[in-house]
Amino acid sequence: MRTCLAVSALTVQTQEDALEIQVTQPGLVTGQMRVALQANRVAGTKVGMLATAEIIVAAVAAVLREYRAHIDIPDPVLASTSGRALLEASAIPHHEVASDAALPCRHPMSLNWRFLPAQS
């Protein structure tokens, strides 16, 4: 068994607060995903903190479609335990439709759905 990672953001945080967030450039996320999918037979995927709409749509969704892959476990990390937002507001609508057109998901479930805004 192997694990391949594509890192979309780095944080400096404790269980009390997120002190700093560095978002990875979408092209780097795309590159990380492509080499992992080219080099390995990927049996399952988990997606966590996708901080920007550009990372979600231009990187992750595009590569998943290119390789006819899907997300097995969407886990949208939207906020730290302290409540600080970990992603741009423009990314939230893309997480909301993670089981729809934005991200191809097999099992739309997550412990973090509680952080999504209420649907109107």
Q: Print the SS3 string covering 48-90.
A: CCCCCHHHHHHHHHHHHHHCCCCECEECCCCECCCCCECCCHH
Q: Which residues pair with 13 in a beta bridge?
A: 18
For every one of its 120 residues, what pLDDT tens digit does the chain have, with 9 covering 90 and above? Answer: 788 889 998 989 887 788 888 999 999 999 999 999 999 888 888 888 888 888 888 888 889 889 888 887 777 777 777 777 777 777 776 665 444 455 666 655 444 545 445 444
For 82, residues 6+ apart whose C-beta sits below 8 A from its C-beta are 16, 17, 18
Residue type, 96: E
Question: How many angstroms separate the CA atoms of 82 and 29, rounded?
Answer: 27
Statement: the pTM of the whole predicted model exceeds 0.75: no
